[in-house]
């Protein structure tokens, strides 16, 4: 089972999936990311995700791609060493900021650019 919490916080949207992100739960995650794609700044907090399979990783990449196509910035917070290692091994950290804490990811998001009017 996957629970997804979404909050608006000081200039950005934070998406917190909680639970395994796999072939059985990926459609819910994909749908949430599609709904959040228009957000100018999106922070995805993966600290509540103990496991991600290839379907979950694909949904994460697809969601980031959609957000960027709409002009948004995305950062990922991940404090789980196996998942962080996966993100770095796959080159994920070259396409989006991967930080250990939500605070570090938020700082990267806010430093990237000021919102356009």
36-65 pLDDT per residue, tens: 999 999 999 999 999 999 999 999 999 999
Pairing assessment for the beta strands 73-77 and 97-99 based on DSSP bridges = parallel
In the chain, the domains with their CATH numbers are: 3-112 (3.30.750.24)
**Residue whose structure tokens are 């980031």:** 64
Give the predicted TM-score (pTM) of the model: 0.91
Closest CA to 23 of 50, 67, 58: 58
Residue count of the chain, please give it: 117
Q: Give residue 10's pLDDT band: very low, low, confident or very high (50, 70, 90).
A: confident
Q: Give residue 92's pLDDT band: very low, low, confident or very high (50, 70, 90).
A: confident
Question: With 80 as the cut, is the pLDDT of residue 114 above it?
Answer: no
**Alpha carbon distances (Å) from 43 to 21, 39, 56, 111:** 17, 10, 16, 13
Residue 77, token pair as written in the block: 């917070």
Calpha distance 74→95 (Å, rounded)? 10
């Amino acid at each position: 089972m996957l629970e997804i919490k979404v909050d608006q916080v000081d200039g950005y949207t934070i998406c917190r999936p909680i639970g395994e992100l796999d072939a059985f739960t990926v459609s819910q995650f994909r749908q949430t990311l599609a709904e959040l794609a228009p957000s100018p700044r999106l922070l995805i907090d993966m600290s509540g995700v103990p496991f991600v399979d290839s379907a979950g990783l694909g949904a994460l990449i697809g969601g980031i791609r959609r957000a960027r196509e709409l002009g948004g910035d995305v950062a990922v917070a991940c404090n789980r060493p196996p998942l962080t290692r996966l993100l770095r091994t796959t080159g994920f950290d070259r396409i989006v900021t991967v930080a250990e804490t939500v605070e570090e990811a938020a700082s990267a998001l806010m430093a990237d650019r000021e919102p356009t009017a």
